């Protein structure tokens, strides 16, 4: 067992606990990662090499810094660089929130959110495939059910490693899922439809027919067009991927029920706001709508905005 340590310097302002908490949905464990007692942990797949990353806050408010410890067999400099790159995405360290704050300060609805969530960055998935699979699984169902399903998929198809007697799972590679059958996925409580979607994506990515990473850098409209051509991917999923995996700053999943409720609570007088109305209202937040979305979701995940139930 070898050990590698290094520091990362996130773009200020950066609140490590808030951002790591958002990643794990403010639960101690969520999907492939955990955030307990100030330590963010995730089993990374570094080109086939498994390494447990442990990340802690190590700086002050003015000069944010995080300390990373990597545990694994045969870790070398190249593996450490891969880990650094993955963690930069997962913890949003290179994300610059300042342009968003400049706009939000002057907005009556957003200013309180920024106060409450100051330093929250927009984290990115380690891969587009991971974000897509988790998004498909999470379609239409409650957050609770989504959490269970995501955990089952990761623990069934992800590679496992033990550290200190505890099990950690890497997010499954496409070929591991592609080797499964529809029935295998149905056994994980996915519906027939979702099993088909998840398996279809895994097979196409594993075969090289579908190049999800190649979407990086394309114009948002083209990304949406290519993603929605995939069976099982509609506008909500495409926009969510823009925000959560592709670094787009102006994504807005107006079809999201939770977003519609939060918008209603925030600027709509209480009742849920219709998708079209959400979209129209959001125009004034362009081109920072990925941040708005993240801050809205964070406020509800962390229970900071009171919502009225759907009427």
| Positions that interact with DNA (CB under 7 A) | 25, 138-146, 148, 186, 189-195, 228, 230-238, 240, 255-258, 261, 297, 301, 310
The minimum distance between CB 25 and DNA, in angstroms, equals 5
The minimum distance between CB 108 and DNA, in angstroms, equals 24
Q: Decide whether 65 or 203 has the Cβ nearer to DNA.
A: 203
Q: Decide whether 172 or 253 has the Cβ nearer to DNA.
A: 253
Query: What single-letter DSSP state applies at residue 283?
Result: G
Strand partners, 54: 41, 69
- Evaluated on CA atoms 173, 45, 22, 214, the torsion sign reads negative
- Please report which helix (H) or strand (E) contains residue 36, including its range: strand 33-36
Q: Which two tokens stand for residue 196?
A: 């088909």
Strand partners, 2: 72
Q: Which residue in 116, 151, 120, 141 sits closest to 256, CA to CA?
A: 141
Q: Which two tokens stand for residue 286?
A: 């362009």
Q: Decide whether 38 or 310 has the Cβ nearer to DNA.
A: 310
Q: Which two tokens stand for residue 12?
A: 């200020």
Residue 282 three-state SS? helix
The minimum distance between CB 197 and DNA, in angstroms, equals 7
Known catalytic residue: 107? no
Query: What single-letter DSSP state applies at residue 213?
Result: G
Q: Decide whether 69 or 191 has the Cβ nearer to DNA.
A: 191
Q: Which two tokens stand for residue 280?
A: 């129209």
> CB neighbours (10 Å) of residue 286?
12
Residues 6+ apart with CB under 8 A from 39: 54, 55, 56
Q: Decide whether 75 or 125 has the Cβ nearer to DNA.
A: 125
The minimum distance between CB 160 and DNA, in angstroms, equals 22
The minimum distance between CB 33 and DNA, in angstroms, equals 14
C-alpha to C-alpha distance for 188 and 239, rounded to whole angstroms = 26
Active-site amino acid positions: 256
């Amino acid at each position: 067992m070898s050990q590698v340590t290094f520091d990362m310097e996130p773009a200020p302002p950066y609140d490590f606990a808030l951002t790591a908490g958002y990643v794990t949905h403010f639960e101690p464990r969520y999907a492939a990662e955990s955030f307990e007692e100030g330590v963010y942990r995730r089993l990374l797949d570094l080109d086939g090499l498994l390494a447990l990353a442990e990340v802690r806050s190590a700086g002050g408010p003015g000069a944010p810094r995080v300390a990373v410890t990597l545990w694994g067999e045969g870790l070398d400099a190249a593996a450490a660089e891969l880990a650094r790159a993955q963690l930069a995405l997962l913890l949003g360290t290179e994300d610059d929130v300042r342009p968003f704050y400049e706009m939000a300060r002057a907005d009556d609805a957003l200013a309180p959110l920024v106060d409450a969530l100051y330093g929250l960055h927009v984290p990115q998935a380690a891969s587009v495939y991971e974000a897509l699979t988790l998004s498909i699984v999470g379609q239409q169902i409650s957050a609770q059910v989504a959490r269970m399903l995501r955990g089952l998929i990761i623990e069934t198809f992800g590679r496992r490693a033990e550290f200190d007697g505890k099990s950690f799972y890497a997010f499954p590679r496409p070929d591991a899922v592609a080797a499964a059958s529809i029935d295998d996925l149905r056994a994980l409580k996915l519906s027939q439809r979702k099993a088909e979607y998840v398996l279809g994506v895994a097979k196409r990515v594993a075969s090289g027919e579908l190049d999800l990473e190649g979407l990086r850098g394309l114009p948002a409209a083209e990304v949406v067009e290519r993603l929605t051509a995939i069976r099982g991917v509609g506008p909500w999923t495409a926009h969510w991927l823009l925000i959560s995996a592709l670094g787009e700053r102006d994504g807005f999943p107006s079809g999201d029920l939770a977003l519609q409720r939060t918008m209603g609570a925030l600027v709509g007088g209480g009742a849920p706001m219709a998708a079209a109305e959400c979209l129209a209202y959001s125009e004034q937040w362009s081109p920072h709508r990925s941040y708005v979305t993240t801050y809205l979701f964070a406020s509800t995940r962390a229970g900071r905005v009171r919502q009225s139930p759907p009427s």
